[in-house]
Amino acid sequence: MERAQGFSLLMLGSLVAVLLAACGSSEQLPEAVSSSPLTSGTPTVTQTGSADATIDPSSVTYKIDNAGILVVKLKLTSASADPQTIAVRGSLYNASGVIIGDVSGGAVMVDPGSTQDIELTGNAPSGTIASATFELTTQAAPTPTSTPTAA
């Protein structure tokens, strides 16, 4: 019986020693490999397209979210006389002018003269963003019509 108790105490002591050693461990886990910066300074913003709206270049921001998706935020102001749906497609370029990514998004029922926050998303770019060209296209927002009811 004493031998069984001695063995149990030895096992318990060994377990406690292992647990205490694990608590004080200073093992360093490898970190993610650092990548190139997302942007080089303030990327140049160019606007193209047929939409009657203007992007505020100073409002454009770039960020990689927790899922690794590129999120581009910007503000645009409608100059249209009517509500419009605006689609935005962005092409992102490195300093050599090579396309390194694309983003897209838009807004529905943008009122005349209003400023709208737009969020565009796309895959993380394959390099450092030096410039971006945003194409704005539009179609008239649908006008509500009455639907005839069956009598």
Which CATH number is associated with domain 39-140?
A: 2.60.40.10
pLDDT at residue 20, rounded to an integer: 53
pLDDT in the model for residue 22: 55
Spatial separation of the C-alpha atoms in residues 122 and 36, rounded to whole Å: 18
Tell me the whole-structure pTM to 2 decimals.
0.70
Per-residue pLDDT at 100:
97
Alpha helical stretches, state H, the chain: 2-23
C-alpha span between 134 and 45 (Å, rounded)? 8
Can you tell me the distance from the alpha carbon of 101 to that of 90, in angstroms, rounded to the nearest whole number?
8
Instruction: Delimit the domains of the chain by residue range.
Output: 39-140
Extract the residue ranges of the chain whose pLDDT is less than 50: 29-34
- Note the pLDDT of residue 139: 74
> What was the pLDDT predicted at 32?
46
